[in-house]
């Protein structure tokens, strides 16, 4: 009883509401630690690029024992590159060494027909730069991903959203960039030189959501009526003085799709990710772009946007690596909590390695949607809830803020190795809702190290105690309780004891219990 009281007291002290921007993530140790995913997929014969994410004091050297034929490692940067022609699974041991020691990690390379074996981690331009994004800004974000240390935790994709599009080439009919992106190949080469990946945006209609040229056209020569009539901004964004033609005349099934030549151009430029802003009933263009990307032979993640309904999940899972389950997120509690707690559970049967229902971008840090940047409107507690929930849901994690203006608090949110481990877990399970009321939710997620992640969420406006019994989660022996955000073991609890912790308003306590469930098949989950 005394032990249980001590544990409860420790948890109570740890769960005081974050009235200020309290940084819970401890500083990474000086000794090496390899972070990020434990498995990585790539197509045979396609360019392979992986940057070993590792924290610890520099200088640091790297080893990769057991690399398949065709790959090479830069021992100073930790960048693995090359081409593997033979399909198969290759078990590799990654090593990172500095003056204080060596860290090893098992790493599985899967060369086959699947990509995105863990949820993508990266950055997207829309929530901070919107239509104002430029090539130089994207390069600055890539630089910041490395200099801030984000790349050392597995963050790797640097994605251009809508607004890069210019006119189609008169001869090839390929969609070319506007003046804001003078050299796409130079841009992707630069991003790749840092060991990072590059993403691009498109859609099947005459006009994108942002008012730029889309993939489709009603003219076989690739010319657009609104360009010919001069109804455009200098960067080829549609301008409609009547404010009513956009939906009627520019978003529909077009006569000509240039999917094949556009996809090949993106591959030739060196892009690794496509965000395809699509209509949920437009199966023709969904499949057409899927085949076009596959035919390039390049390993490009296919991410569908937006607001997919449950009924089309089987079809999406056949083609897309990621698909948006919601409308665009905003930096408010109402938006974030409605998306996170209101509609994600139904996607769990379709979430697995290679298929990731997407709850939209992270709205932490300085955001602005092309307007003046401002600090997120989410409170500190709400931001911890945001990151914890997206990690438990195994949602893709795409940062939406300006990476050159990261403050220490935001950096702490994005560089907690144990939180990232929950998101990047190789099982690929979406957390299961164990308890749900109007004011509290408990999510449970089995992990590949035989531990259990447990998220205790307070949806109310007053602090409250939230509890459970480990036995009700399927655990049949005493459990060590670990505070994931603070990366600290809190003590042991028997499996029949009621476990309670005080949770702040709109806040979360994210725990890991181990040894967790010791049986081969976790209760309530099916191996896939």
Annotated active-site positions, please? 277, 328
- Which neighbouring-strand residues pair with 492? 480
> Residue 217: which residues within 8 A CB-CB, separation 6 or more?
168, 206, 223, 224, 254, 255, 256, 258
Q: Where are the alpha helices (DSSP H) in 51-124?
A: none
**What CA–CA distances, in Å, run from 47 to 9, 39, 53, 300?**
53, 17, 19, 10
> Residue 48: which residues within 8 A CB-CB, separation 6 or more?
42, 70, 71, 80, 81, 82, 83, 84, 299
d(CA 295, CA 292): 5
Count Cβ neighbours within 10 Å for each residue of 334-363 and write b for 16 or more, e otherwise: ebbbebbbebbeebbebbbbbbbbbbbbbb
Length of the chain: 528
d(CA 378, CA 336): 9
Three-state secondary structure call for residue 267: helix
The CB density around residue 203, as the number of other CB atoms within 10 Å, is: 26
**What CA–CA distances, in Å, run from 29 to 55, 79, 96, 148, 330?**
8, 22, 13, 16, 34
The DSSP secondary structure of 86-103, one letter per residue, reads S-EEEEEEEEEEETTEEE
Torsional sign, CA 41, 324, 214, 178: negative
For residues 36 and 424, is the Cβ–Cβ distance under 8 A? yes
Task: With both helix axes pointing from N to C terminus, report the angle between 184-193 and 259-269 in degrees, rounded to the nearest 10.
Answer: 50
Three-state secondary structure call for residue 423: helix
d(CA 481, CA 394): 22
């Amino acid at each position: 009883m005394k032990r249980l009281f001590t544990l409860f007291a420790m948890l109570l002290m740890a769960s005081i509401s974050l009235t200020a921007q309290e940084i819970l993530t401890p500083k990474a140790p000086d000794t090496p630690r390899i972070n990020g995913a434990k498995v990585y997929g790539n197509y045979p014969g396609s360019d392979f690029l992986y940057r070993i994410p590792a924290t610890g004091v520099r200088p640091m050297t790297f080893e990769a024992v057991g690399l398949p034929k065709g790959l090479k490692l830069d021992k100073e940067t930790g960048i693995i590159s090359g081409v593997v022609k033979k399909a198969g699974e290759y078990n590799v041991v990654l090593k990172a060494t500095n003056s204080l020691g060596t860290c090893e990690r098992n790493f599985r390379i899967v060369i086959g027909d699947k990509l995105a074996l863990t949820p993508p981690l990266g950055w997207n331009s829309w929530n901070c730069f919107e239509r104002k994004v430029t090539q130089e800004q994207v390069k600055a974000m890539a630089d910041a991903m490395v200099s801030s240390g984000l790349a050392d935790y597995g963050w790797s994709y640097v994605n251009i959203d809508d607004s890069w599009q210019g006119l189609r080439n008169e001869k090839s009919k390929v969609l070319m960039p506007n003046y804001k992106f003078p050299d796409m190949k130079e841009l992707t080469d630069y991003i790749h030189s840092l060991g990072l990946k590059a993403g691009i945006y498109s859609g099947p209609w005459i006009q994108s959501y942002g008012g730029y040229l889309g993939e489709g056209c009603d003219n076989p020569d690739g010319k657009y009526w609104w360009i010919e009539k001069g109804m455009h901004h200098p960067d080829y964004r549609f301008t409609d003085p009547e404010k009513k033609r956009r939906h009627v005349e520019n978003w529909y099934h077009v006569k000509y799709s240039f999917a094949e030549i556009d996809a090949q151009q993106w591959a030739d430029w060196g892009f690794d990710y496509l965000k395809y802003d699509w209509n949920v009933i437009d199966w023709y263009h969904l499949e057409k772009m899927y085949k076009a990307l596959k035919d390039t032979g390049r390993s490009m993640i296919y991410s569908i946007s937006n607001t997919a309904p449950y009924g089309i999940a089987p079809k999406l899972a056949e083609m897309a690596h990621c698909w948006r389950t919601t409308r665009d997120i905003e930096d408010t509690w109402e938006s974030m909590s409605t998306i996170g707690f209101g509609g994600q559970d139904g996607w769990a049967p379709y979430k697995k390695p290679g298929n990731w229902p997407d709850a939209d971008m992270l709205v932490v840090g300085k955001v602005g949607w092309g307007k003046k940047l401002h600090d997120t409107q989410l409170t500190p507690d709400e931001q911890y809830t945001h990151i914890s929930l997206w990690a438990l849901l195994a949602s893709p994690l795409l940062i939406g803020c300006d990476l050159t203006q990261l403050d220490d608090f935001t950096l702490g949110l994005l560089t907690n190795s144990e939180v990232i481990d929950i998101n990047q877990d190789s099982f690929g399970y979406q957390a299961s809702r164990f308890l749900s009321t109007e004011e509290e939710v408990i999510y449970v997620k089995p992990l590949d190290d035989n531990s259990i992640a447990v998220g205790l969420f307070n949806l109310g406006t007053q602090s409250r105690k939230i509890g459970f019994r480990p036995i009700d989660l399927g655990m049949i022996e005493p459990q060590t309780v670990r505070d994931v955000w603070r990366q600290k073991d809190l003590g042991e609890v028997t499996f029949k004891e009621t476990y309670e912790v005080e949770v702040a308003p709109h806040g979360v306590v994210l725990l890991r219990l181990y040894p967790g469930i010791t049986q081969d098949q976790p209760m309530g989950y099916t191996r896939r």
